Structure 1
Amino acid sequence: MFAESKKTKMEPTNALNNRIAENTKIKGDITSEADIRIDGEVEGTIMTSGKIVIGKTGVVTGKIQCENADIEGTFNGEVKVAQILVLKSSAVIEGDVVVGKLAVEPGASFNASCAMKGAGVKSLKDEQTGRPEKSA
């Protein structure tokens, strides 16, 4: 009468996370559909249709393309964020930045060229499928 249902619940993709722990070094390209948190070091290209978080101890050199990003650590290279890039007070950024929206906390070091494209930044999903950008 009160038996538990045997149905399993599927987790949505955005509930899954990838983590590169402190003291871990990766050289190469990373592609994912899920969110990525980096507390170690990455040299290469990182692409996700989710969110990228670079923690305080995280260091990324190369290219990033994602939907949203929070940076507390160090980034040097080219970053394309379709929606919002948040730079925390401990962030150090150098390179080229293309974003939909940018939020910078006092104390962040931002030494980069920046282009704000609003709704014009292609999302990773649109770029992979070759679909044209959405227009208002």
Structure 2
Amino acid sequence: MGFFNKQSAATGELATTTIIAQGCNIKGELKLECDIQVDGCIEGKIRLEKLLVVSQSGRIEGEVFADKMIVGGIIKGKCYANTIEILENGKIEGDIYCDDLSIARGGKFLGSTHPEQKEQVVELKQDKKPEKKEESNKAIPKKATAANA
């Protein structure tokens, strides 16, 4: 069983979906560029760029990063996503970092919600002119500093 999107059908290409079958247990870190459907159990960190579907038999314990999550099973841990839907039989225990959360009647959420956090890459730049820093230090008289007072 896989997911097909309207754009891929128009071009004749199939959308790719990874399926973790019921009875399958995985421990570790998963990084995916495609959708994933979890019918089995995953323990660890999951990073994907697209959709995560946790079916009624699916279980995840750990950190999950996705664009969108649809939860019909159980997730225990931290969830980071643009959109999270907890279905009728779904349950999330832990922290949710999301700006678009919906919980269907019968769905359960035990934890806390926070605004979505974007991972930021910080570049460290070297100063091209260290002489200017030295000049600014020389401009402060030694008598004015707290250490010499």
With normalisation by structure 2, the TM-score equals 0.70
Q: Who is 2:21 aligned against?
A: 21
Rounded Cα–Cα distance in structure 1 between residues aligned with 2:20 and 2:108: 23
Q: Who is 1:101 aligned against?
A: 100
* Runs of 4+ that moved beyond 3 A: 9-12
Unaligned runs of 5+ in 2: 1-10, 123-149
Q: How many residues align?
A: 112
State, as a whole percentage, how many aligned pairs show the same letter. 28
Deviation digits for residues 69-90 of structure 1, max 9, x if unmatched?
1000011000100x21000010
Q: Who is 2:40 aligned against?
A: 40
Q: Who is 2:109 aligned against?
A: 110
RMSD: 1.9
Report SS of the residue matched to 2:105. Answer: coil
1:49 matched to 2:49: yes
Q: Who is 1:11 aligned against?
A: 13
C-alpha displacement of 1:116:
3.2
Rounded Cα–Cα distance in structure 1 between residues aligned with 2:101 and 2:115: 8
Report SS of the residue matched to 1:106. Answer: coil
Rounded Cα–Cα distance in structure 1 between residues aligned with 2:42 and 2:83: 21
C-alpha displacement of 1:10:
7.2
Rounded Cα–Cα distance in structure 1 between residues aligned with 2:54 and 2:29: 16
C-alpha displacement of 1:11:
3.3
With normalisation by structure 1, the TM-score equals 0.76
